Structure 1
Amino acid sequence: MRPERRFEQFFLLALLGFSLLLSSGQTQAGPPLPIDPTDFGLVFVNSAEEARGTARIQRAVSAGARMDRFPLYWNNIEIQRGRFEWSRHDAAIRANEAQGLETLALLLSTSAYYYPSTHPAPNVGSGRPASSIAEPLPSLPDRQPCAEGMRPPGALNEPIFADGTDRPAPGKGINPANPWARFVEEAVNRYRPGGSAGLNVRHWEIWNEPDLCHFWSSTPRQYARLLKVAYLVIKQADPQATVIWGGLAHYGNRDFLEGLVQALREDPMAATYNGFFDAAASHQYSDVTQGQVYTQRVRRALTGTGWENKAVWITESGVPVCGDAIGPPCPDAHRANSEGQAAYIWQNVAYTRLANGGPIFHFQLHDDCGNEARSAPPADAFGLVSNEGDHPCVPHRAQPRLAYSAYQLAARYFPQTQVLWDDTQEGVRRVAFYHPATRERRILVWMTGDSSGIARVPATAAQGRRIGVDGSYQDMTPVNGEYQIPLPGSTNMRRSGSATYIGGLPYLLIERDAQPPTTTLALKTLSELEFEVTWQASDLGSGLLDVSLWMQIDDGKWQRWLGDLPAEGDTAAEGTAGHRYRFALLATDGAGNALTTPIAQAELSLGAKPRQLPNRLYLPLMDR
């Protein structure tokens, strides 16, 4: 399997004319709602090249997808020089919006009229660092070792605006000598809210996998120019739009990411214009840990730029299936069995969110034509659902796989959650999320190896619910303060010649947090009048919201001595001889459970040895 060809077959379908036109007589949708990093999307729900009808769109909406990653192939739109054909795209996006599915518009594929004969070096800046960057930049090779592939548009280095500059300003027109700038402006002015098509596109991804020769046969610096042109044009037309750089594959040209960031930093306009991107994007397949590894890689590359806190969208992720009616027999390199594909969905959420990545797009809703465009099995089976009966590639019964249920449940239980803590104990991976609106702790557990095991989860309520990827559930009561969940081992372990790794089938444990935090205190005498207070607070259910240290002198009133404290720490203080000091640590968690009444946990009388009083129940702090 060659993952780099995922878009190729979709592109070929467009050229071969596998297209159906959706009716444009749909109700106009309202303005799009903000997209949260915890939301979910799907790739290729619909398109102008292969419009498949309302039932398919409804499957995506019913699965819980917020957005469709929707391609706008320039070569299919500018059908003659200066003549743009939008009708099929209008109909497909309108059909999506009529059912509440928003659009991540993907701009790519140079029109044949603007293929360059050579790839000149772009003029993206003077070579000086952006004004907010003071340190010297390392020298990275600005190269793309590509003999062939999708070529960048010609005249890309021409000024963006009609006044001969790259500086946007109200009322400025686009330079007609820069065809990429002109195409981007046409697309945005058509599809933005208030645009000529009456639609509501607010999110734009610029190209696909430019670190692969197949999609970008030029350099990181040339791509930086493409991104800059698109960003400035889009923001001129719609200042509220979100511009995302093209999702990176992270193989092929492994220097591409660092070269791109360097090129952006060196542009003297970058500091003023947000680095020419609102969010980065990354792709991950088959090995579920890539969600954390690749997202962290992007953040490391952005360290020191001032852009390191930007969102990292996952605009493609997934694993194809083996061992069903469509895929080849298992085991097969880069693929997983049906349970493994479902497990990938949940574990991909966990690993990606641990690196603060998202939103997450799954590739893809249906199998479509995959990498090989076969008409009969065995074939690629990336989809949550097999193909419909009239599909040109491997027609089937539009049968949902187990992964469809897993995606649907992920889209129900993981949006609007916060990562609380994670750890691995005896081969069991535990990742805890908290959902503030319901005050629920939602913990994912799975085996990391091929042996079975038992997940032990400290309880924060009198009852919890265990949910499987198929939607089955069991109400559970903790025993001796913990839940015990039997877990199967992985059937998709790493093996020679394959990139696939997925842990064992996961479970989700949900309970409403009803337990207050736990705290402990200790005192140590430093000198005749000086002492040290050490504290620790923990909350495994919803996280700590507030920690405060209280003090009582002799038999007086308890007073809040120190507030807004970290979960653990120490402080030194000096007292007065002849007095007794008592201390208590109070805390409130994210669900509002609180220790509100000071009860002495440690005391000392200056001139005497400190006395440790019985502490409240203490549970060890988890990695946060």
Structure 2
Amino acid sequence: MIAFVLGFTGRAGASPAAITPLPPVEETDGRAGTCYAFYYDPPPIRPFIRMAYQAGSRWDRFDFIWPNLEPENDRWDEDVLRAYDDVINDLSARGIENVVGILLWTPDWAATSQLQGAEARSFDERPFGWYAPTVRNARLSQSTFAPSASSSPPQGLYLPWDHPDNHWGDFVYDVVSRYGDRVKYWEMWNEPEWTYFWTGTSTDYAQLLKVGYQASKAACPDCQVLFGGLHYWANPNFYRWVLGTLRNDPSAPANNYYFDVMSVHFYSSVSNTYDKINEIRDGMASLGIVDHPIWLTETGVPVWNDASVDPDPVKYDFAARQSEAAAYVIQSYANALASDVERYFFFRTHDADMGEYFGLIRNEHSLRPAYVAYQVATTYLISPTFVTRDLTGVHRQVTLWGTPRGKVSVLWNESPHTGVYTLPAAMPTARLVDRWGVTRTITPTTWLTGSHVSAAYTLTLPGATANLVSDPGHYFIGGDPLLLIESETNSAPPTSTVHPLPAMTTTLAFTVSWEGRDNESGILGYDVQWRDGAEGTWIDWYHITPHTAGWFVGKSRYTYDFRSRAIDRVGNREAWPHKPQARTTLDFTGTLYFSVTHFFADENR
């Protein structure tokens, strides 16, 4: 929320322990952001922008509040407009050039209902399984979950987007027109499943999204429109209802179903940043809506044991110790990468006047351990070629292959008991990094099986400590994570080729073989593709297979091209060759199919 002068609230406590940050993060892949980094303290200084940038954030996300911008129909507040200009320009000047603007809240003059505030819910009344940040009334020290007129659908919503009485369309068009040269990402409302934000139906929200998309694209064709960030827990089916409505709109397919990015929010429980995100992706696909990236536009966990801001701390469900919150940052970041999340926004940069303490930074500018953990994530978990995720008992491993640092394995323990984890070695040494960014070099244990030498790193993984008060056996954050980094001296990718084939093949089936070489870690596997003649589309045949030959069956009078690329054991991957590496023409008639079972019984095909 835009504020010209901020007065932070909160009780004074003991001075926090000093946290030393890592050096400023300069090399990033642009994936990471934070929310609400722009605050003054005091004007005209915005210290949290610099601190967010040094942590590795390259995005900010904040509200463009309709009642503040347009307090009366067609009367815009010039002071507020200029304040947003200043915020955007100050962010850009300090290196945060990417902004997600959240367009929300209905002004009284445009509201369709004047709802009276309902009685606020307390923590104890939060439904089981629900977790989201609470908006507290500081004077009353209680949560305020009540809907209001500002959460009602605006008048004229079902008119054409550019009709003068469609107030939402008019607002979106005017705001995007003014700021679209600097703000390229616009989120249509926030958490529309939750009546605190939206009291309309899912059909109403589908219309709000459609109108917002049309108005945004008219004002700025290259701007991107985000689905309002899902609260999820308030109604897990809401987004499906909205997408179902849009799917039935005959104009939707030609307009990308009226959104470019699915925006989601998950807090506290690390597993949700993988499991629930994939569930949402599957839900979209089940409705035929695919190829929309997913952004995690809010994630975080409140801390409960920070005596410097709360001298009488009391543990409560889904809140964490400061050390556990630091573990959450790395684990949720790794899970988000494994679930193919395109952007990650930590909520939030500093505590501000929230009723809970989410900040990487306290209001008086001191750092929490989560700040350093964020630096670790944005330093090492960048630009992977591909990502894998494995669960071995209670131990979790997310591996980023082919990063600028090498192969990065993120490891943690989901049980409360200390565990021992064995990781096969790709290189003769590795760097081990903890959540503080402290590194040390380790070597694997080796053993001989026949004539084969094996090597593995043996690691001790601390047990989880973040559990619920209401269910002490439920742990929602793993124990302290470790990063194991294996790097080659020269990270040049391996090379491979498909062996030549005869110009004419006269048998029903034939062998295609390939080979590769790597100068350091060795070959992990091969991707192999084929196509039907020079004009055909390349089709995947094998994916990271360790084998060097396959059995191919084609049909008569067809010409087949083949090509390969190799991946080494730290994830460096060869580029696909532009031209085929082997070609043959068949001179018999038959049916095109593949049979790898008869040749290798290879399941990786």
Tell me whether the two structures share a fold, i.e. TM-score over 0.5. yes
**What do the CA deviations read for 1:263-298 (whole angstroms, capped 9, x no partner)?**
111112101111000000110011111111221222
Paired position in structure 2 for 1:511? 486
Residue 450 of structure 2 is aligned to residue 468 of structure 1: no
Offset at 1:330?
5.4
**What do the CA deviations read for 1:38-79 (whole angstroms, capped 9, x no partner)?**
701111112599977232210111111111102111111112
Distance in 1, Cα, partners of 2:214 & 2:466: 45
Distance in 2, Cα, partners of 1:404 & 1:622: 43
Q: How does 1:176-325 map to 2 (within 5 A)?
A: 176-193=164-181, 200-325=182-307
3-state SS of 2:265 partner: strand
**What do the CA deviations read for 1:213-256 (whole angstroms, capped 9, x no partner)?**
10000111101111111111111111111110111111223331
Asked if structure 2 preserves the Cα contact closer than 8 Å seen for 1:493 and 1:503, the reply is no
3-state SS of 2:34 partner: strand
Distance in 2, Cα, partners of 1:38 & 1:542: 30
TM-score when scaled to structure 2? 0.71
Distance in 2, Cα, partners of 1:98 & 1:216: 35
Distance in 1, Cα, partners of 2:280 & 2:321: 30
Residue 450 of structure 2 is aligned to residue 449 of structure 1: no
From the superposition, tell whether residues 573 and 66 of structure 1 become closer, same or farther in structure 2 (CA, over 3 Å).
closer
Which of 452, 456, 464 pairs up with 1:490? Answer: 464
Residue 88 of structure 2 is aligned to residue 93 of structure 1: yes
Offset at 1:490?
0.4
User: What code does the residue aligned with 2:193 have?
Assistant: D
Paired position in structure 2 for 1:73? 65
Paired position in structure 2 for 1:591? 572
Asked if structure 2 preserves the Cα contact closer than 8 Å seen for 1:47 and 1:71, the reply is no
From the superposition, tell whether residues 63 and 147 of structure 1 become closer, same or farther in structure 2 (CA, over 3 Å).
closer
Residue 407 of structure 2 is aligned to residue 406 of structure 1: no
Distance in 2, Cα, partners of 1:41 & 1:573: 47
Asked if structure 2 preserves the Cα contact closer than 8 Å seen for 1:447 and 1:506, the reply is yes
3-state SS of 1:155 partner: coil
From the superposition, tell whether residues 237 and 444 of structure 1 become closer, same or farther in structure 2 (CA, over 3 Å).
same
3-state SS of 1:246 partner: strand
Distance in 2, Cα, partners of 1:541 & 1:152: 60
Distance in 1, Cα, partners of 2:67 & 2:101: 15
After TM superposition, the structure 1 stretch with the greater mean CA deviation from structure 2, 530-539 or 271-280, is 530-539
Distance in 2, Cα, partners of 1:97 & 1:586: 40
**What do the CA deviations read for 1:570-600 (whole angstroms, capped 9, x no partner)?**
95589xxxxxxxxxx9954352589xxxxxx
Offset at 1:421?
2.2
Asked if structure 1 preserves the Cα contact closer than 8 Å seen for 2:104 and 2:190, the reply is yes
Q: How does 1:318-337 map to 2 (within 5 A)?
A: 318-325=300-307, 326-327=309-310, 329=313, 331-337=315-321
Residue 104 of structure 2 is aligned to residue 108 of structure 1: yes
Offset at 1:106?
0.8
Paired position in structure 1 for 2:346? 362
Distance in 2, Cα, partners of 1:266 & 1:415: 39
User: What code does the residue aligned with 2:54 have?
Assistant: S
Asked if structure 1 preserves the Cα contact closer than 8 Å seen for 2:295 and 2:342, the reply is yes
Distance in 2, Cα, partners of 1:331 & 1:313: 30
Offset at 1:410?
1.0
Count of aligned pairs between the two proteins = 477
Paired position in structure 2 for 1:386? 362
Distance in 2, Cα, partners of 1:49 & 1:226: 35
From the superposition, tell whether residues 52 and 280 of structure 1 become closer, same or farther in structure 2 (CA, over 3 Å).
farther
Distance in 1, Cα, partners of 2:271 & 2:214: 35
Distance in 1, Cα, partners of 2:200 & 2:274: 28
Distance in 1, Cα, partners of 2:509 & 2:257: 51
Distance in 1, Cα, partners of 2:523 & 2:465: 33
Paired position in structure 2 for 1:140? none
Paired position in structure 1 for 2:52? 60
Distance in 2, Cα, partners of 1:113 & 1:42: 33
Asked if structure 2 preserves the Cα contact closer than 8 Å seen for 1:48 and 1:89, the reply is no
After TM superposition, the structure 1 stretch with the greater mean CA deviation from structure 2, 536-545 or 259-268, is 536-545
Q: How does 1:5-16 map to 2 (within 5 A)?
A: none
3-state SS of 2:158 partner: coil
Paired position in structure 2 for 1:555? none
Distance in 2, Cα, partners of 1:622 & 1:365: 46
From the superposition, tell whether residues 466 and 572 of structure 1 become closer, same or farther in structure 2 (CA, over 3 Å).
closer
Distance in 2, Cα, partners of 1:541 & 1:294: 36
After TM superposition, the structure 1 stretch with the greater mean CA deviation from structure 2, 327-336 or 540-549, is 540-549
Asked if structure 2 preserves the Cα contact closer than 8 Å seen for 1:321 and 1:338, the reply is yes
From the superposition, tell whether residues 541 and 356 of structure 1 become closer, same or farther in structure 2 (CA, over 3 Å).
farther
Distance in 1, Cα, partners of 2:74 & 2:540: 65
TM-score when scaled to structure 1? 0.69
User: What code does the residue aligned with 1:504 have?
Assistant: G
**What do the CA deviations read for 1:7-61 (whole angstroms, capped 9, x no partner)?**
xxx59x79xx7489xxxxxxxxxxxxxxx99701111112599977232210111
Unaligned 5+ residue runs, structure 1?
Answer: 1-9, 21-35, 120-145, 162-174, 194-199, 372-379, 389-397, 520-528, 550-561, 575-584, 595-620
Distance in 1, Cα, partners of 2:394 & 2:515: 27
Between the two proteins, what is the percent identity of the paired residues? 30
Paired position in structure 2 for 1:143? none
Asked if structure 2 preserves the Cα contact closer than 8 Å seen for 1:449 and 1:493, the reply is no
From the superposition, tell whether residues 64 and 566 of structure 1 become closer, same or farther in structure 2 (CA, over 3 Å).
closer
Offset at 1:88?
1.4
Offset at 1:322?
1.6
3-state SS of 1:566 partner: strand
3-state SS of 2:175 partner: helix
From the superposition, tell whether residues 234 and 89 of structure 1 become closer, same or farther in structure 2 (CA, over 3 Å).
same
Q: How does 1:604-615 map to 2 (within 5 A)?
A: none
3-state SS of 2:543 partner: coil
From the superposition, tell whether residues 98 and 410 of structure 1 become closer, same or farther in structure 2 (CA, over 3 Å).
same
Asked if structure 2 preserves the Cα contact closer than 8 Å seen for 1:292 and 1:354, the reply is yes
Paired position in structure 2 for 1:24? none
Distance in 2, Cα, partners of 1:414 & 1:182: 41
From the superposition, tell whether residues 265 and 50 of structure 1 become closer, same or farther in structure 2 (CA, over 3 Å).
farther
Asked if structure 2 preserves the Cα contact closer than 8 Å seen for 1:406 and 1:469, the reply is yes
Paired position in structure 2 for 1:339? 323
Asked if structure 2 preserves the Cα contact closer than 8 Å seen for 1:330 and 1:336, the reply is no
Distance in 1, Cα, partners of 2:462 & 2:36: 33
Paired position in structure 1 for 2:599? none
Offset at 1:435?
3.5
Distance in 2, Cα, partners of 1:468 & 1:542: 29
3-state SS of 2:173 partner: helix
Asked if structure 1 preserves the Cα contact closer than 8 Å seen for 2:295 and 2:343, the reply is yes
3-state SS of 1:80 partner: coil
Distance in 1, Cα, partners of 2:63 & 2:228: 12
